[in-house]
Amino acid sequence: MQVKPMEMNREHWENNPLDRSYPFKLFFNASGETKPGQCVLFLHWHEHFEFIVMRRGRAVFHIGSQVCEAEPGTLLVVQAGDLHTGFSRGSEQVEYVSIVFNGALFSDWAKEEDYDTLLSPYLDGRASLPAYPGRCGEEARRLIDMAVAESGTGFSASGRMIAKTYLFLAFAWLARTHLPPGQAGRAREAGFRQERFKELIRHVEDSGAPMGVREAARMVSVSPHHFCKMFKRLTGRTFTDFVNRCRMRQAAKLLLETGLSVTEVAERVGCSNPNYFTRLFKQYVGMTPSQARNRALPDRTQAGGTDW
């Protein structure tokens, strides 16, 4: 079990190694008072599945291409490899529980007669569960709550075994409820589309340079109009906002780690006008480039910090 504040991490790929015997981890995510639109779950993806159960406050989560509003009691499902992020919908505290698990968690049941029919399509990516199961997911959420309750003993051997069983039952319940005809093909198509957007996100982060919507749309082979809608659904941000955040993040790194002048840093991130660069930097970082160079940047990884 891990308890952590909500983070705005720099890396979008999350390497989250899991124990081989019991490949799942439990996280309690909590914030202080939030502002509407404040990031409460940083944009990322990982190779594992994830259950999210809302405990307090209101938020909107972007999971894959689905936008899901959440309030206390809401269950959300993240497929392996799905981009996901979340934002507060109000000014109250936000709390949710995350259980990150690998499909290998259910290997003990692989010899069961109906395993291949019921579970394999989801575990190998041929089908996907809905990010928001709605009322159909109430029984699964009850089972997940019981798995979470087992963490109160510090995950003893018996607790891990019981939690593992509850998670299997929750996953099987959702799988039995949500396998409409033809979904397997749609799941593969959606997964391929997300991979193209992940490549674009990596490119923008690595380059730290400006990029227009048309160029980005060409990279993922869609029209500019469709690209703008799809990017917002996947990340919760406009593409221009996302690019500017990456550029200012790179600028902050250069200011702190090199001896380049402010003008040289501005040129490195594609700003030919130093005055415009200063305004943009202050908008995202909360201080001018000169102020950032003269003192350590504030900690942006805690809940309530500016998500830049």
Instruction: Check if the beta carbon of residue 285 is closer than 8 Å to that of residue 14.
Output: no
What's the pLDDT band for 305 if we cut at 50, 70, 90?
very low
pLDDT value for 295: 72
For residue 299, what is the DSSP state? P
Token representation of residue 270 = 């594609």
Q: Which amino acid is at 27?
A: F
Q: Does position 189 have pLDDT exceeding 60, yes or no?
A: no
Unique residue bearing structure tokens 């006008």: 273
CA 240 to chain centre: 19
Instruction: Check if the beta carbon of residue 26 is closer than 8 Å to that of residue 197.
Output: no
Interacting residues of 229 by C-beta distance below 8 A, sequence separation 6+: none
What's the pLDDT band for 249 if we cut at 50, 70, 90?
confident
pLDDT value for 102: 83
Q: Does position 237 have pLDDT exceeding 90, yes or no?
A: no
For residue 296, what is the DSSP state? P
pLDDT value for 45: 87
Mean pLDDT within 12-23: 61
Selected residue with higher pLDDT from 240 and 180: 240
**CA–CA dist 165, 163 (Å, integer):** 5
| 203: exposed, middle or buried (Cβ count in 10 Å: 0-12, 13-18, 19+) | middle
Least Cα distance to 75 among 7, 216, 177, 4 occurs for: 177
Interacting residues of 172 by C-beta distance below 8 A, sequence separation 6+: 118, 119
- pTM to 2 decimals? 0.68
**CA–CA dist 112, 170 (Å, integer):** 17
Mean pLDDT within 275-301: 79
- H helical segments located in 129-238: 138-149, 157-177, 183-207, 213-219, 224-235
pLDDT value for 164: 85
Least Cα distance to 263 among 246, 251, 245 occurs for: 251
For residue 45, what is the DSSP state? B
pLDDT value for 134: 86
Looking at the chain, the whole-number percentage of residues with pLDDT higher than 90 is: 30
pLDDT value for 188: 53
Least Cα distance to 18 among 77, 105, 114 occurs for: 105
- Residue 177 has, within 13 A of its CA and on its CB side, a CA count of 17
Phi and psi at residue 197, in whole multiples of 5°?
-70, -35
pLDDT value for 7: 38
> pLDDT, tens digit, for every residue of 27-70?
899 888 888 989 999 888 888 899 999 999 999 999 988 999 99
Q: Does position 160 have pLDDT exceeding 90, yes or no?
A: no
CB atoms within 10 A of CB 21: 10
Q: Does position 155 have pLDDT exceeding 80, yes or no?
A: no
Selected residue with higher pLDDT from 17 and 127: 127
pLDDT value for 136: 81
Mean pLDDT within 108-115: 70
**CA–CA dist 209, 99 (Å, integer):** 36
Interacting residues of 250 by C-beta distance below 8 A, sequence separation 6+: 208, 268, 269
What's the pLDDT band for 106 if we cut at 50, 70, 90?
confident
Q: In the chain, helix, strand, coil percent, each to 5?
A: 45, 20, 35
Domains and CATH numbers, the chain: 2-179 (2.60.120.10), 184-240 (1.10.10), 243-294 (1.10.10.60)
Instruction: Check if the beta carbon of residue 235 is closer than 8 Å to that of residue 242.
Output: yes
